[in-house]
Structure 1
């Protein structure tokens, strides 16, 4: 008798052969290497079962995205800083009438009556309720019923791939339900990996310990040091100001904005903020972030301790203290405490053009609102939030957790926000060249502890976000001496994407690294082509931070520290530019990779990011896949950005 795992593999192989022969006039539109962990096929789906087929139409001009964003973001462009309006972004990327007509015609000619086909208000998605038999004929695939220990009901999906006519395929980005296991698992019992930690969908990002970037702790501190003499043992705001020459008093805070993203059940504790402020910024005692609730997000207080308060306390204590009492910090609290939320839910709220028919997100990855499990019953947040100029997120996933189409569609949205002048920061991760919880990749793409292949993180591998790695003050060193890559408790994630191509702004730096300091590994261990997106882009300290949690001083480690600190400094740069009538800095990557700006960073040349039973990559002169272009020298960067138009 076959085991469940072997049955799944056998089924995938059989379907692959069957579909190729049955769909020779079609092309494979999307595929995946295996069935997600925990799911088992139990029988063919009934032919007359009804599926809500959603067809995501291809957005035009995506092939020009890099040129568009370089035009407004590269310091040598005559259009630097001339950011687009939301209306222009929506117009440029709205699916064409040709795409709509081609997909409609295909559906009609395939027997789907006109009255069954609907178009979303944004023009991005088509919806048609079809039977399983109709879907199999449309897509050249077979649907099966799957079971999972954590699912309350059975689920229908196709196993490994689906097909489209070639003339239709070029007008379609994604179709659901197909490969996406879009049945919600029980919120209170997420899938656990071999180390008894939660794993699975993107909407679990707020769960304790989940994801490559969740902060780590070694426990409470016996005493709190003051001043900057002990920054090798404890990092405080004063240490960061000294490390990065960060001394700035906002001039036009009413014109500026910065936001920190948190995902419920992560929540800050007001009394902890005050305890931190009392030690490092007395004038801010009693100050709170301006909270914006997205999809039922709220500051929960039923679950407490480091696992529930550590991330949010860390992000807000440092970002608020560093920007000071004049500059308001906004908190995007995302998702309810039943279903949760994902990066897509955040993006829906920031840009109405991203929202799709009835949510349109992938229910296996994204929260669907109103919450069908009794949580937040309001409508999905869709264009309800004006994006802040700088947005910091200290959460991430593995690239291998999601399909390429899912990531590519999301990545294009970060590019659109960059066109609008928004700086999006993501922490790179804390497991070196490994993925979350030290999972690496097998040659077939599956994830396992002990596997040999490096496992990059997402969204850091999206070319249109700024990925932030972590450094440390070395033991027995001072803030006046060079830092190294983080190697206490966490290792700064970095490497090369398996999904996204290398952006133009990064080519020279990556070519220099690979030519002068070639990694000592076989080519199959990582994406060694030199043609893929490399990360991180820059770094900041992420080791030995002192935060308060439930009235105690606690040590914290992670790129979770680095991202909000970097955000605070970039927000100050925006203030300086806005004060003289200039635009925000927007998407910063094309700028920071230029020789002039790279010289304004502290180059990190020691340390590495171990993982997958290797030493990982090594920090080297110039850009490297451990610390990026280095850590900021705020004064120099401010002056360089002020010199731009």
Structure 2
């Protein structure tokens, strides 16, 4: 197509702007604002003169639903195109904006004397990046007031505005601009893992460690130590992966994303495998640094080590890649950019969507309260995850660790009313959210497992029957505290308590849905290996398949996720907003795939 050929040129040469109209785009209309400074942030005034930021502008596609329609076609097992995942070029065609959009946006930028050499196009033409924009110019472009803000708990400083506007003529062409009103910058992201200071002790001679490296026969019973602490042995038995031997390790890959300056330690992985899966030695993972990420192998993060140790031990010998994404302290500031203005998800998505080879399975264990993320921003990021799904990537997110909501649970919509607090990105309908369980024989819902219903995203068709069935049984309970028409999450679950993890050569005990996500990702990666080894396409976006195969999961029927001064939701037969469809059974899922 001519438009695609134009895009291919625009991605490598400066963008040419149209002649600016007159008057100069002065009909400004509000795009997004907060009623007050977001919770836990305080304003520290204007940044120094000369401060610059990079602006990302998400453009609306010419064909509004084309990407999502295509995503469902290649993800629905009943569709003739199931498994026919898209190329980068095909995705670019689907998300391309109308030619008038680039012309109008270009005229707007030119009107404000933004040089064409400062602009590039990414993600198939759906995003513009404007580099080194002085804050005075950004304020004029967006009717904004950028200031420096400090997070009162982490002491991190960022540059943001509590409101911004766009010319009225651009509202139908521009989805969002970042960074603007999204205050969920790196250290405000919530880690979904916690070292358990009051967990089971591990004295010298503990049988968990004495017997951890033993190799059990595939049909052997679950070790009794799994009643106390979780090791790879426990998970491989619980989820029936013991007997499967990966065959497609030259093609199949599993990716783990890391933020907040997190990186994983190879030496800790080696000790972990020595203790808990000696047959996987000498497994190694690849470390990829994104946007100034860290990988110095000193003082690794608990989150990073947890993720890579369990993903690797379940999926071995599948190659694992850890992505350390920068944008957090230590941040190398200069006199023009004294504070952090990065958007963590966008930094990583910019990188991964530009790669020729992307892991077939990707796990992430970070999230924000959905209400702290501007809806236009959330929708734009969610659509980038949809791009990954359409290209055959299974994207999993830990659901969070605050039940139905933490703290006072007051909404920030101006009413200050008590509401359940959903978590983003798990609330995005184009990712697979993983909740948490505990105990064995049977498993029950972990009481911290976040789950509920999105206030931004409507209920997708793939979960219509399952969610309606749950809501019918729920009746009027918790009425008014959640959006019954929203996307329900999590989709599935896995063990989340008392995981043994090696950090700085010491065994610690960790809990949280950060344990669940890499565990589930390991199982999914094995399923992808099975398909690829048969010459078939990987799973890609998982949810349409999973909701059609609920009996391939271990249904979790007890437990609840209290929060917001309530008992939250209760687990029950079928899908529920604590454990989703349940925990995976590899052999049943393998059989369902045929």
> For this structure pair, what is the TM-score category when the shorter chain's length is used for normalisation?
0.7 to 0.9
Change (3 A) 1:85 1:52: closer
State the match for 1:125 in structure 2: 128
CA RMSD across the alignment: 3.5
Cα distance in 1 between the residues matched to 2:116 and 2:44: 30
Provide the secondary structure at the position in 2 that maps to 1:416. helix
Task: Give 1:215 shift.
Answer: 3.1
State the match for 1:221 in structure 2: 202
State the match for 2:102 in structure 1: 100
Can you list the C-alpha shifts for 1:310-359, whole angstroms capped at 9, x where unaligned? 222222222222223x322222222275239722221111113xxxxxxx
State the match for 2:478 in structure 1: 521
Task: Give 1:290 shift.
Answer: 1.8
State the match for 1:541 in structure 2: 495
Cα distance in 1 between the residues matched to 2:271 and 2:44: 53
Can you list the C-alpha shifts for 1:591-628, whole angstroms capped at 9, x where unaligned? 1111xx10111111100111111111111111110000
The number of residues matched between the two structures is 537
Q: Where in structure 2 are the equivalents of 1:307-386 lying within 5 Å?
A: 308-324=300-316, 326-335=317-326, 338-339=330-331, 342-352=344-354, 383=355, 386=357
Change (3 A) 1:627 1:299: same
Q: Where in structure 2 are the equivalents of 1:85-96 lying within 5 Å?
A: 85-96=87-98
Matched, 1:493 2:493: no
CA contact (8 A) 1:264 1:298 kept: no
Task: Give 1:176 shift.
Answer: 5.2
Task: Give 1:293 shift.
Answer: 2.2
Selected match of 2:395 from 420, 424, 437 = 424
Selected match of 1:610 from 543, 548, 562 = 562
Q: Where in structure 2 are the equivalents of 1:428-439 lying within 5 Å?
A: 428-434=399-405, 438-439=406-407
Task: Give 1:389 shift.
Answer: 0.4
Change (3 A) 1:215 1:577: same
Cα distance in 1 between the residues matched to 2:94 and 2:391: 13
Which deviates further from its counterpart, 251-260 or 82-91? 251-260
Cα distance in 1 between the residues matched to 2:508 and 2:223: 18
CA contact (8 A) 1:608 1:626 kept: yes
**Gaps spanning 5+ residues in structure 2: where?**
1-24, 212-221, 332-339
Matched, 1:61 2:63: yes
Task: Give 1:589 shift.
Answer: 0.4
Cα distance in 1 between the residues matched to 2:157 and 2:259: 28
- State TM-score, norm by structure 1: 0.75
Task: Give 1:532 shift.
Answer: 1.1
Can you list the C-alpha shifts for 1:444-465, whole angstroms capped at 9, x where unaligned? 34899xx732111111011111
Matched, 1:82 2:84: yes
Provide the secondary structure at the position in 2 that maps to 1:234. coil
Cα distance in 1 between the residues matched to 2:579 and 2:569: 10
State the match for 2:410 in structure 1: 442
Task: Give 1:114 shift.
Answer: 8.5
State the match for 1:171 in structure 2: 173
Cα distance in 1 between the residues matched to 2:533 and 2:469: 37
Cα distance in 2 between the residues matched to 1:616 and 1:607: 10
Matched, 1:298 2:258: no
State the match for 2:442 in structure 1: 482
Cα distance in 2 between the residues matched to 1:607 and 1:616: 10
Matched, 1:567 2:558: no
CA contact (8 A) 2:67 2:94 kept: no
CA contact (8 A) 2:151 2:157 kept: no
Matched, 1:550 2:504: yes
Cα distance in 2 between the residues matched to 1:322 and 1:142: 48
State the match for 2:22 in structure 1: none
CA contact (8 A) 2:394 2:542 kept: yes
Task: Give 1:152 shift.
Answer: 11
Cα distance in 1 between the residues matched to 2:136 and 2:282: 61
State the match for 1:368 in structure 2: none
Change (3 A) 1:159 1:574: closer
Can you list the C-alpha shifts for 1:423-444, whole angstroms capped at 9, x where unaligned? 011111111111xxx2343243
Selected match of 1:581 from 518, 535, 546 = 535
Task: Give 1:401 shift.
Answer: 2.8
Cα distance in 2 between the residues matched to 1:40 and 1:513: 43
State the match for 1:236 in structure 2: 231
CA contact (8 A) 1:601 1:631 kept: yes
**Gaps spanning 5+ residues in structure 1: where?**
1-22, 181-199, 353-382, 474-478
Can you list the C-alpha shifts for 1:106-164, whole angstroms capped at 9, x where unaligned? 567xx54696796424343275999989877765x464756658899999865445253
State the match for 2:587 in structure 1: 635
CA contact (8 A) 1:428 1:494 kept: yes
- State TM-score, norm by structure 2: 0.81
